[in-house]
Amino acid sequence: MSGAGKVVGFFHAGITVTDMDRSVPFYRDGLGLEPFWDVTRDSAMVRTVVGVDFSTLRNVMLRLPGGGFVELLEYRGVDRPEPSFAPASVPGTGHLCLEVRDIDAVVERLVALGGTPGSAVQTVPEGGPRAGSRLVYVRDPDGWLLELYQFASGSSADLQADS
């Protein structure tokens, strides 16, 4: 593919929250993400881009180790349905997978901050490049799915392209 019209990197993943004061500690303290900015916007351009007629938008960016951000968005002055807890199989849902060290400690912190694990931590069976890795889905306080993944090999960088 030529240089024109291609993806060149990852910038951020955005997650809409109902209560920023609850969500920031979950992501900052529970996952150890570093706050980068916390701003409240009243912008016609942002209203146009997102297609939401909000009064203000609180926007917090948290830096991911290795590059990129998790962006938390709290739309104010809009009618909002209750957060949904749709299964991962429902089209339009998604999840954010984060590589972690000491998955048990991370899950414990997230539960203390309002997270809900979908199961016990699972171990990938023998027989593949990820054998022995451990993973679990945890919902944030608004129901967004986070996949926590602890690689047995030490790092996702150790995976082969064909895995």
Pair of tokens at residue 82: 């209750």
pTM reported for the whole predicted model: 0.88
Residue 126 has a pLDDT of 84
Q: Quick one: average pLDDT of 17-26?
A: 96
The closest of 31, 57, 33, 30 to 43, measured between CA atoms, is 57
Contact predicate 98/66, CB 8 Å: no
Judged on CB neighbours under 10 Å (0-12, 13-18, 19+), 120 is exposed
pLDDT digit string, tens, across residues 92-146: 888 999 999 999 999 999 999 999 999 999 999 987 778 899 999 999 999 999 9
pLDDT digit string, tens, across residues 37-89: 999 999 999 999 999 999 999 999 999 999 999 999 999 999 887 767 788 88
